[in-house]
Amino acid sequence: MTRSTFRRVRAVALAGVLALAMAACGGGSTGGTGDSAGETAAPPAGGTDVQAALRKGGELKIWAWETSLKQVVVDFQKKYPNVKVELVNAGTGNDQYTALLNAITAGSGVPDVAQIEYFALPQFALSKGLAELSPFGAGSLDGTFTPGPWNAVKQSGGIYGLPMDSGPMALFYNKKVFDKHKIEVPTTWDEYVQAAKALHAADPKVYITSDTGDAGFTTSLIWQAGGRPYKVDGTNVTIDFSDAGVARVAATWQQLLDADLVAPITGWTDEWYKGLADGTIATLAVGAWMPANFSSGVAAASGDWRVAPLPQWQAGSTVSAENGGSSLTVPQAGTNQALAYGFLDYAAAREGVQTRISQGAFPATSADLKSEKFLSTEFDYFDGQKANEIFAQSAANVASGWSYLPFQVYANSIFNDTVGQAYVDKTTIADGLKTWRDASVKYGADQGFTVK
């Protein structure tokens, strides 16, 4: 259930081109945030090289699909008049990665800056496609960003991107449906299963949520439950779906599937939007970038929905996980890396952040997440609820130690071939995860990794 998948569906509808982008997402949205004047506590931009490069100027080619960057580019050029920026939408998610990999392989046409989602970053970092940013002063930004995104851009000791946005998870729920059937909003996943049963019993047309198998969602749940199935050390990769966190997610979700409590509606389809609007789908556990999608895609249900903290695996705890989000990176083949880093710093850690928040993005910078104006923003769609308080709390509670595979893009693409089969009663989630693991191991070994 991610934004790139959503864009994929749209792309198909419009252009008839199939993109295989799966999982996490860039871009986001806290609809109607207004401008937040939270001060950005970033230290001075980069090293002296970067400052010199910014003064000297030059040309920058940026590949990104995140829409709020347009205004950032305009402001950036105003501040540094010698820099000429060309912002190119080279496709969303996988489309762009394919183009970028091709450009890197061909050794020509590589952009100076590229947007890359967190789950795809390791693949590029590992294949030496991206420049390590410490020499430009990225290390000094330690503490500027929330832990989840910051850990995601750090790969094998280096920093390979600056976090642009983030997707700390929360539970969006249709208050009208819960009120009508007098059911409490769940605070744990066990309560969630109970609520699913109660809702469906009260009205057979209502489902607690919709799910047809989404790798980004399942891995985020595992992340929250404490599972750490992927361990990556250079080219040594371990994939192990046997820890307790994974088992917990599999068992809980299996209960929902067995009792047919999950609507078989795939995310980002027309049916899905209808289901969110008419109360068929009662909750949605997803990243904090979701609100803008609600106000644009589910406008009819404005006022019905609210935000609650993500249900917990243990009553009383406050653990969260990331779902989506992307970073800005500097490809290794770029010719003006210092200048490129200057833009990254501007867009991800300095003035650009404010611009992007005012355009509806959900930031990854700690200072903005703490700023009063940001936190007190009232969301019209959620009937005036100050949803950012919940999102910011979730961002602070993201569990550490998670890593994605250096070939997560492919692994996610075969999620429905394997785990997805549990959704059509051909296997169980636990067995599907085993098949997924085996297929991922095989692919990793094929690609030259040492996989266990």
Partner 1 sequence: MATTSRSAPVIDARPPRRGTRAPRSWTGWWFAGPFIAVFALVFLAPIAYSIYLSLFRTRLIGGTSFVGLENYLRAFEDPQFWAAAGRVSLFLAVQVPIMLFVALLVALAIDSGRLYGTDFFRVSIFMPYAVPAVVATLMWGFMYGSQFGLIGNLNDTLGITLPDPLSPQLILASVGNIVTWEFVGYNMLILYSALKVIPTSLYEAAAMDGAGQIRTIFAIKLPALRGALIVATIFSIIGSFQLFNEPSILQNLAPNAITTYFTPNLYAFSLSFSGQQHNYSATVAIIMGAITMVIAYIVQLRGMRKAG
Q: State in angstroms the smallest separation of the CB of 425 from partner 1.
A: 9
Query: CA–CA distance from 445 to each of 20, 102, 244, 419 (Å)?
Result: 22, 22, 26, 20
Q: State in angstroms the smallest separation of the CB of 269 from partner 1.
A: 6
Q: Is 441 in the site for partner 1 (CB under 8 A)?
A: no
Residue selected from 235, 254, 255, 393 as contacting partner 1 according to rule CB under 8 A: 235
Q: Is 260 in the site for partner 1 (CB under 8 A)?
A: no
DSSP bridge partners of 84:
59
Q: β-strands 450-451, 154-155: how paired? A: unpaired
Residue selected from 3, 4, 22, 92 as contacting partner 1 according to rule CB under 8 A: 22
Q: Is 71 in the site for partner 1 (CB under 8 A)?
A: no
Nearest one of 115, 204, 122, 203 to 164, comparing CA atoms: 115
In this structure, what token pair is assigned to residue 153? 């851009």
Q: Is 106 in the site for partner 1 (CB under 8 A)?
A: no
Residue selected from 56, 70, 84, 426 as contacting partner 1 according to rule CB under 8 A: 426
**Binding characters for partner 1, 127-166, by CB under 8 A (x = yes):** x---------------------------------------
Residue selected from 203, 243, 271, 431 as contacting partner 1 according to rule CB under 8 A: 271
Q: Is the dihedral of CA 147, 75, 92, 115 positive or negative?
A: negative
Residue selected from 116, 199, 420, 429 as contacting partner 1 according to rule CB under 8 A: 420
Which is closer to partner 1, CB of 188 or CB of 447? 447
Q: State in angstroms the smallest separation of the CB of 417 from partner 1.
A: 4
Q: β-strands 305-309, 169-174: how paired? A: antiparallel
Residue selected from 421, 428, 429, 430 as contacting partner 1 according to rule CB under 8 A: 421
Q: Which stretch binds partner 1 (CB under 8 A): 26-34, 93-101, 307-315, 379-387?
A: 93-101
Residue selected from 71, 414, 434, 441 as contacting partner 1 according to rule CB under 8 A: 414
Q: Is 238 in the site for partner 1 (CB under 8 A)?
A: no
Q: Is 8 in the site for partner 1 (CB under 8 A)?
A: yes
Q: State in angstroms the smallest separation of the CB of 90 from partner 1.
A: 14
Q: Is 37 in the site for partner 1 (CB under 8 A)?
A: no
Contact positions vs partner 1 (CB under 8 A): 8-9, 12-13, 16, 18-20, 22, 94, 98, 101, 123, 126-127, 212-213, 235, 263-266, 268-271, 274-275, 280, 406-407, 409-410, 413-414, 416-417, 420-421, 423-424, 426, 443, 446-449
